[in-house]
Amino acid sequence: MSAQDPRYDEIMKALSIIQTKLPNGELEVIKKSIQSLESSIQSLEVNQKTIKEDLDYLKKRLFNPDDGVIVRINKNTEYIERFEEIADDMPEIKNQLKNLESWQGNVTKALWIVYTSVIGIIISLVIAAFKK
């Protein structure tokens, strides 16, 4: 308690009255217990400040609009929802990919046929040119 607290003045008045009426031995016991109470109150105040600081830190970690826990959870939920939408389209995408691969294979075969034909024509032209 601080000296500015009105209860502090009342306690000090009560202590002065007790001092005048009690013998010294009992007064020392009371003084020690009051000192013990004061130190306990001080440690409670320190602990309360620590708890308040910890709560402030946790609030900042939870509710920070840039990277708080709640924001992260919301982003994660949005990602999962988008992934589920994409996952529904996956069979169609796989089918399209197979069709594209099949088309690419057919085009490759056709190009090999064209290349072979062109090389064959060039060779036949070269042979025909030497025979003349």
Lowest-pLDDT range, 57-61, 63-67, 99-103?
A: 63-67
Which bin fits 28, alpha (ψ -120 to 50), beta or left (φ > 0)?
alpha
Quote the CA–CA distance of 12 and 18 in Å, as a whole number.
10
Q: Which amino acid does the sequence have at 23?
A: P
Angle at 5 between CA 42 and CA 22, to 5 degrees: 80
Q: Which amino acid does the sequence have at 47?
A: N
pLDDT of residue 10 exceeding 60: yes
Q: Is 56 helix (H, G, I), strand (E, B) or coil?
A: helix
Quote the CA–CA distance of 80 and 89 in Å, as a whole number.
14
Output the six-digit token pair for 68. 């708080």
Task: Say if residues 22 and 30 touch (Cβ distance below 8 Å).
Answer: yes
Confidence of residue 2 (pLDDT cuts 50, 70, 90): low
Tens of pLDDT, residue by residue over 11-45, are 888 877 777 776 666 667 778 888 888 888 899 99
Output the six-digit token pair for 121. 């024509």
pTM of the predicted model, to two decimals? 0.41
Tell me the residue ranges of DSSP E strands in 50-96: none
